[in-house]
Each structure stands twice: as structure tokens, then as C-alpha cells.
Structure 1
Amino acid sequence: MTKQFDIQAQQTFEQPGPNPAAAIRKPLRQTLRPWLMVGVPILFAAAGYAHYVSGQAFVSTDNAYARVAKASINARISGQVVEIAVEDNQQVQKGQVLFRIDPKPFQIAVDRAQAQLSVARLRIDGLKASYRQQQAELQSAKESADFDQKDFARKKALVVSEFVSKSIYERADTDVKVARQRIASIEQQIASTVVALNGNPNIDADSHPTVREARALLDEAQLYLSYTTVYAPQNGIVAKVDDLQVGNHLNNGAPAFALLSDHEVWIEANFRETDVTHMRPGQEATIRIDTYPDRVFKAHVTSMSPGAGSDFALLPPENATGNWVKVTQRVPVRLELDEVDPALPLFSGTSATVRIDTRFSSPWWHPLKALLTAGNF
């Protein structure tokens, strides 16, 4: 009996009782469960809202390209190329000789214009000399006319007294008339000479219109002669020089090759029309250029095109048709780099990816409104 009691007591003693730690964990799980069920969705919603709001401030496009200021080098006169002073893809400085056109025909024109200028000056000097001679002839004619007039008056008195014959009197009268006509003729010649001297007998030869015209023709000929040497209008790199060869005949204004600037560089990004709503000049941007994939360039918006790119196309689209399909248009946006690294030159036409911070964020209720009004106009 005693042995059986001991066995029951031992079994009772060895039977495990309730675990206090487990009792504590069970209420803790029950306590945290409702908070987790509410908090986790709220946390995800907050994260989603933060991502939505932050994402609205940035717009990006990979429809972007590096642009470099390009000048078309052309001849301002027509002629044959006799020298090319640069090579393809060569760096040139402003004022550097690029090529020359045969100057001989233009030098001949300069020599001819110089001769015409000398002739014009001699002509004016001759007119001034003629004017002085005509003045002397006029003075002599007036003195001769005075003498003839006095002789006529004396003979008129004598003919009345019959001391001279009537024929002598008539001859004296004729001499007076001839003297007066000679004075009138000389005065007419003087008037014509004064007109030829532009109304000023003492005019300086270089101030006369004829000489000034000849001088202008000489200046024009010298200008055309200077055009036979073509200089670089700015610093840059020449391209497509091989298209021009010695012996080619260039027409006035015909392009010879291109000169790309080495400092005037920008990025042209074509954003969708829905992306430029909050875009403004001065906003910051980051640019990745395919040429340098590991480099991020800082830039800013400088200007926005006043129209979509299609409006400036050679053949603008005609939307007033029955089979019209709406297509999202692209608006060209110009961006300039904050710093240009000479060690990382940008090549015109290379692709880029642009991301602009518009600093726009919609009100907190905007996502809810968008959901409620989805599908409505």
C-alpha cells in the first residue's frame, strides 16, 4: 500500500506544470496582432503615398540628344579653290585661315577700280582748272565789252556830227553786241562747270560724288578680294573638310564644310506634352549621356520650345481628317550643363537620358480624387 502511494506521488511530482514564459508570450501575440493588422497596411500605404508624391516631382525621357553650335563655312564670292589650310576634324582658332579662292580676277578688279578713282580725281581737278580759266575769260570779255561800249558811244556822237561814216558806227554797234554775247556764253559755261563741281567750285576732289562713287567701287573690289581668304569665325572643330578639294569651283554662298563649336554645347530633350505641365526654366536636372554611362552631369532648364516638334517639321501634320488618331506630342526642352569638363567632350547628336526635378507635389487628397473620378471627364 505504501509502495503504491509512493509511485503515485512520484508520478504526480514528475508531471509538468504550466510554463510561465509560454503564458507570457501568448498574451503578447494576442496584443500585437491587431496592431500589426492595422499598422502594416498603413505603413505600406504611407510608403506608397510617399513614392507617389516624390515621383510626381520628377519627369524623365531618353529622347534627348547632345547638341553643339554648328556654323556652315561658305564662300562669299564665286571662284576656284586654290588652297585648303586645314584638315578634317582639326581644332581651329578664331581668325585662322581655312581655305583660299583664286584671287587673280579680284586683284584685277581692284586695279581697275584704282584706275577709275584716279581718273575721277583728275576729272574734278580738270573741272576746277576750267572754272578758273573761264573766270579769267569772263573778266577779259567784260573789259573788252566795256571798251567796245565806250567806243560805240564815242562813234555815235561823231556820226551825228558826220565826222565818221555810218558804216563805222554800225561796226561799233556790232562789236558791242558780240561782246555781250561772248560774256553770256562764258557765264553759261561757268554755270555748267559749277554744276559739274556739285555747286562748289572750291570742292575737295575726294568730296565730289564722282570720286566718292569711284572710291566706293574700289572699296567693294578690295572687299571682294579679301573674301578670297576664308577665316574661322570662332573656335571649334572643322568637319567634312574632305568634301572640299583644291580645284573645286565654289559658288557664292555654297557651303564648303562645317565648323562645330568647342564650347557652346547643350542638351535637347523631347518631353511628352503631359510631362511639361510643371516644367519651368531654371529647374535642376541630371543627365546621363550614353558616351559616358558612368558619369552623371548636372544641368538646368534654360528654355522650352513655344510649340511641339511636329509644328516645326518640314511637312506639319494635317489633323483635320476623318481618320484622326490622337498621338502624344513631344515638346523640345533645352538644358545647359552647369559645368563643362574639357576632358569629357560632348559629341553632337549623341543620345542622353534627362531627369528634371519640377518640385511639384499634389495635395494629399489628390490620389483619392483620382480614384473616385477615374473614367470620368
Structure 2
Amino acid sequence: MQTQNKYTQTDLLITRITAWIAGVIAIGLAVWGVIALIELYSYEETNDAQVEEYINPVTSRVTGFIREIKYEENQDVRKGDTLLIIDNSEYQLQQEEGEAALSNAQAQIQVLESNVATSAKMSQASQSQIASARAKLTRAQQDYDRYSKLFKVESATQQQLENSRAALDVATSEYRSAQENYQASLSKVNDIRSQKGVYEAEIKRRQALLNRNKLDVGYTIIRAPYNGKMGRRTIQQGQLIQAGQTLAYIVDQDAGKWVIANFKETQISHMHIGGTAEVTADAFPGKKFKGTIVSLSPATGARFSLLPPDNSTGNFVKIVQRIPVKIKLTESPDVLAQLRAGMNANISIKKD
């Protein structure tokens, strides 16, 4: 009888402990339920989100063999750091050829200016010949006039008159020839000067080609466009690369990081640009990052897909669409350094 009472008291104790445990669990579930309802009422949440950064390709602007690679995979680089060097032997020869062609065009200008000076001196000489021919013509005219008067008074012969006339004709012809030679020399000077514009245009063309050759030489050294972190390396020293070929990828650390969160269309009514958000990365579940809404997509994600759905075909099934929301992470770069592009994240935005 005593044993029976003892078991009854033990069962009673177990029952009480079980009841207390069940009560605590019920209270915990009730508290959790209340918190969940408050959060559901006060916040919009989604786990359809990923961390994003600008990841840009590093491409070559010239064709050539890789001489040296200056970076390793996942290496931090600063703006202006040399990433790789391409063999520039051919481009250096093209630059030297361009410099020689430019020097030749500039020398042609000097030759042209020398020809202008020579032609100008010849023109001055022709002008002096005009003065001499004019003096001869004046003298021949005077002789002819004098013999004409003497012939009228029969103090000169017909032959003397004819000789003076012939001398006058010769002097007249020489004077006209000297004038024509002078005009021709002036025309030659103008013709040579008009060629100067052609040579100057050629110099500009040669200078442009030389500048392009210098650019090609400069393009053989590929530098980091900004502070960032290099991605996977897929090239080797001695490899032939083509102009426009992607050589590597670099993550832009200066542009910051953001999250693209795809909220349901029924959730965005309480969101606006400038609203605050809390971000939790799956990789760091106990750490929260602050963010600010900077933009909402003008269309659903489906509309930007390769094959947007067409509900007019008759196969219509209503599906809740997703609206991409861009959230800029506002933490310091040191805090955000642990996040990587492509990481999954959970977003919580307080309703206004």
C-alpha cells in the first residue's frame, strides 16, 4: 500500500514538471507568435536578395604577346597599378616610322620655304631687268624720234631710220619679255606658297598617325582603372591575345556595395526612396548591415527577362511578380569588406 502511494506521488511530481515545461513552452510560443505578428505588421521581409558590386572586365586594346603579368588571383590593386605588359616591339617600330615620316614632312616645309625665298630673289632680279629694258626702250624711242626728224629734212638716210625702228622694236620686245618674266616669277612664288597648305595638312596627318602610334605603345601596358580586387586569372606569360579580348575581371571597391532585393509586388506599397533597411547575409547570420533604398525597378523582373511572359496567349496563371529594389549599403568600407558579390542576404524594411 505504501509502494502504491509512493508511485502516485512520483507520477504527480512528473505531471507537475511536465505541466510547467508545457506552460513555459506555450508562453514562449505565444511570445514568439506575438513578436512574429508585430514584425509581420511592421516590416516587409524577403530572402530573395543578393549582394552586388561592379565587376568589370579588363580588356586589351592591342594585339600582341604577353611579356609579363604583374598580378595574382584575388589580389588587391590600386588605381594605376600595372596589371600586365604586352610586347611592344612592333608598335615601337611603328612609332619610329611615324616619327621619321613626320620629320620628312617638316623638312619638306623647310625646302618649300627655301624655294619661296629663291623664287622671290629671282622675281626681284626680273624686276631689275624690267628697269634695264625700260631704259633701253626709252633710248631706242629717242633715237627713232631723232632719226625720224632728220629723215624729214633729208639729214638721215632711209637705212638709218629703218635701223632705229628695228632697234625700237627689239627694245619694246625685250621690255615686254621682262615684264612677262616678272609676272611669271610672281606666279611661281604664289604657286609655291599655295603648296604650303598641302604640306601643313600632311604634317598634321603625320602627327595624328604618330600620336596614334604612341597610344598603341601606351596600350601595351595595361593598368588598373580604379582601386579594386582582381578575380580569377586565366592568362599566361607568352600567350597571344587579341584586341578587345577579356583578360581578367576586377571588382570595383570604390563604387561601394549594394543589395538587389526582389520583393513581391504586394510588399512595395510601403517602400520609398530613402527608406532604411536591415541586411543580414547568410554567411554572417548574427551580423546586421544598414542600408538605404536608392531605387525601385520600373518594371518587374519578368519584364526584363529574355522572353517576357505574354498573358494574351490564353495560358494565363496569376503569379505574384517580383520587383527588384536596390539597397545601398551605408556601412564603412572596412565593415563591408567581408561581404562578397553574389552572397545571399535577407532584407527587412520597416513599413512607413
Q: Is TM > 0.5 for Structure 1 vs Structure 2?
A: yes
Deviation readout 1:108-131 (Å, 9 max, x if unpaired): 111111112211211112222222
Asked if 1:190 corresponds to 2:181, the answer is: no
Structure 1 residue 316: Cα displacement: 2.8
Mapped partners of 1:230, 1:58: distance in 2: 48
Q: Could you tell me how far apart the structure 2 residues matched to 1:51 and 1:244 are?
A: 52
- Partners of 1:257 and 1:321 lie apart in 2 by 44
In the TM superposition, 1:69-88 aligns within 5 A as 69-88=54-73
Question: Partner of 2:241 in structure 1?
Answer: 250
Match of 1:119 among 95, 104, 117: 104
Deviation at 1:54, TM superposition (A): 5.9
* Aligned counterparts, 1:153-302, within 5 A: 153-159=138-144, 161=147, 162=160, 164-198=163-197, 208-241=200-233, 243-263=234-254, 264-302=256-294
Q: Give the drift of 1:51.
A: 7.6
Say whether 1:334 aligns with 2:326.
yes
CA distance in 2, matches of 1:289, 1:330: 20
Deviation at 1:53, TM superposition (A): 7.2
Q: CA RMSD in A?
A: 2.5
Q: Could you tell me which amino acid in structure 1 is paired with residue 242 of structure 2?
A: N
Q: TM-score, normalised by structure 1?
A: 0.74
Give the corresponding residue for 1:106. 91
- What do residues 254-276 of structure 1 show as CA deviations (whole Å, max 9, x unaligned)? 21110012352111111111111
CA distance in 2, matches of 1:165, 1:271: 117
3-state SS, counterpart of residue 270 of structure 2:
coil
1:348 aligns with 2:333: no
**Residue matched to 2:44:** 59
Instruction: Name the CA distance, whole Å, in 2 between partners of 1:223 and 1:192.
Output: 37
Question: Which whole-Å CA distance do the structure 2 matches of 1:57 and 1:315 have between them?
Answer: 36
The amino acid that maps onto 2:236 is: Q
Residue 22 of structure 1 aligns with which residue? Answer: none
Count the aligned residue pairs: 305
Counterpart check, 1:92 vs 2:77: yes
Indicate the SS of the match to 1:291.
coil
The code of the aligned residue for 2:95 comes to: V
Q: What is the percentage of aligned positions where both structures have the same residue?
A: 26
| Distance (whole Å) between structure 2 residues aligned to residue 319 and residue 176 of structure 1 | 99
Q: Deviations over 1:154-200 (max 9, x none)?
A: 2234245235354433332332232122112111111122222349x
Once the two structures are TM-superposed, the CA of residue 233 in structure 1 deviates from its matched residue by: 0.7
Deviations 1:86-111 (A, max 9, x none): 11111111111101111011111111
Native 8 Å contact 1:103 1:225 kept in 2 = yes
Q: Is the 8 A contact 2:278 2:347 kept in 1?
A: yes
After superposition, the Cα gap between the structure-2 partners of 1:319 and 1:182, relative to the gap in structure 1 and judged at 3 Å, is farther
Query: Contact 2:140 / 2:164 at 8 angstroms: preserved in 1?
Result: no
TM-score (norm 2): 0.79
Give me the whole-angstrom Cα distance separating, in 2, the residues matched to 1:209 and 1:283.
60
Kindly tell me: are residues 319 and 185 of structure 1, through their superposed partners in 2, closer, same or farther at Cα, counting changes over 3 Å? Answer: farther
C-alpha contact 1:280 1:358 (8 A) present in aligned 2: no
**Cα displacement (A) at 1:317:** 2.8
Listed as ranges, the gaps of 5+ residues in structure 1 are 1-43, 200-204, 360-377
Cα pair distance change 1:52/1:345, threshold 3 Å: closer
Alignment CA distance shift 1:337-1:156 (3 Å): same
Quote the residue 2:350 is aligned against. Answer: 357
Q: In structure 1, how many angstroms separate the alpha carbons of the residues matched to 2:244 and 2:193?
A: 45
CA drift of 1:141 comes to 0.3
1:137 aligns with 2:128: no
Query: Residues 35-50 of structure 1 correspond to what in structure 2 (within 5 A)?
Result: none
Structure with the higher helix share, 1 or 2: 2
Unaligned runs of 5+ in 2: 1-29, 148-159
- Aligned AA for 2:349? I
- For 1:230 and 1:54, locate their aligned partners in 2 and report how far apart those are by CA, in whole Å: 52
Supply the distance in 2 between the matched residues of 1:116 and 1:247 (Cα, whole angstroms): 32
User: Within 1, Cα distance between the matches of 2:245 and 2:322?
Assistant: 33
How far did residue 144 of structure 1 move? 0.1
Deviation at 1:277, TM superposition (A): 1.4
